[in-house]
Amino acid sequence: MGEHIPNNNEHLIEAYNLQTDQDARNFYNEWANNYDTHLINDLNYNAFEHVANDLAEVLGDDYNARILDIGAGTGLVGESLAKLGYTNIDGWDISEKALIEARSKNVYADLYAININEFKPIKPMYDAAISCGTFTKGHVKHHALTNIAQILNPDAYFVCTINIGIWKEYGFKDTIEQLESDGIIAIDSWIDRSYFNDNTLECRCFLFRKL
């Protein structure tokens, strides 16, 4: 399945063709300074607003819930959550320079440079998690979902996007079905959207709940 790339954008073409975690780190370190401008102004990227609203719908007025932003990047999701009133947000990302941009938004409690493909879960510690654009071609792999589930408290919500083009081929469908079968998560809802402000459905948005 071909990727939808608005305006044949060269950054998106390169992003979808990353091969290794080090490629991803280098790529986003180089793009960090202009990332927000390119995505929002040039490409009308708005998926980050949708996922923030999705999480807010289930968290309600629990504004101090401890939230983990997975693949936080330059902080677009965290900033959207902060505008909705949430105040206790941590962020993880592989790109140190992207996290510098995220820190400048002053909406995160803590930010950590972490390779999400390699992190080892310690114990449940988060009341909610959120991720936008991280589970896509050349980025975070399906096995990370299992590890993420282990750091969520019981009844925690996890909102994330998964690129429909890699949903089956890259193992996400099987991993989610296994987590559900094992009684680790429940799928409360999902909907297909665009990553951008257009009508192309390429982004499967999930609301998971930790059991």
- Six token digits for residue 57: 């719908």
> What is the DSSP track for 159-187?
EEEEEGGGTTTTSHHHHHHHHHHTTSEEE
Instruction: Say what the pLDDT of residue 1 is.
Output: 41
pLDDT, tens digit, for every residue of 11-51? 777 878 889 999 999 999 999 999 999 889 988 999 999 99
Residues in a beta bridge with 126: 152
Determine phi and psi for 189, rounding to 5 degrees: -170, 165
Instruction: Say what the pLDDT of residue 14 is.
Output: 82
Instruction: Say what the pLDDT of residue 201 is.
Output: 87
Contact 76, 36 (CB under 8 A): yes
Residue 120 makes CB contacts below 8 A (sequence gap 6+) with: 147
The whole-angstrom separation of Cα 82 and Cα 85 is 5
Contact 161, 47 (CB under 8 A): yes
CA 181 centroid distance within chain: 23
Per the prediction, the chain carries an average pLDDT of: 93
Q: Is the dihedral angle over the CA atoms 18, 21, 23, 26 positive or is it negative?
A: positive
Write down the pTM of the prediction. Answer: 0.94
Contact 183, 153 (CB under 8 A): no
**H or E element: which one contains 23?**
helix 21-31
pLDDT, tens digit, for every residue of 161-173? 999 999 999 999 9
Residues in a beta bridge with 163: 203
What dihedral angle (degrees, nearest 10) is formed by the CA atoms of 45, 49, 55, 60?
Answer: -170
Contact 82, 103 (CB under 8 A): no
CA distances from 69 to 6, 33, 113, 174, 198 (A): 25, 20, 12, 24, 25
Per-residue pLDDT of the chain (211 residues; tens, 9 = 90+): 445 554 546 777 787 888 999 999 999 999 999 999 988 998 899 999 999 999 999 999 999 999 999 999 999 999 999 999 999 999 999 999 999 999 999 999 999 999 999 999 989 999 999 999 999 988 999 999 999 999 999 999 999 999 999 999 999 999 999 999 999 999 999 999 999 888 888 999 999 999 9
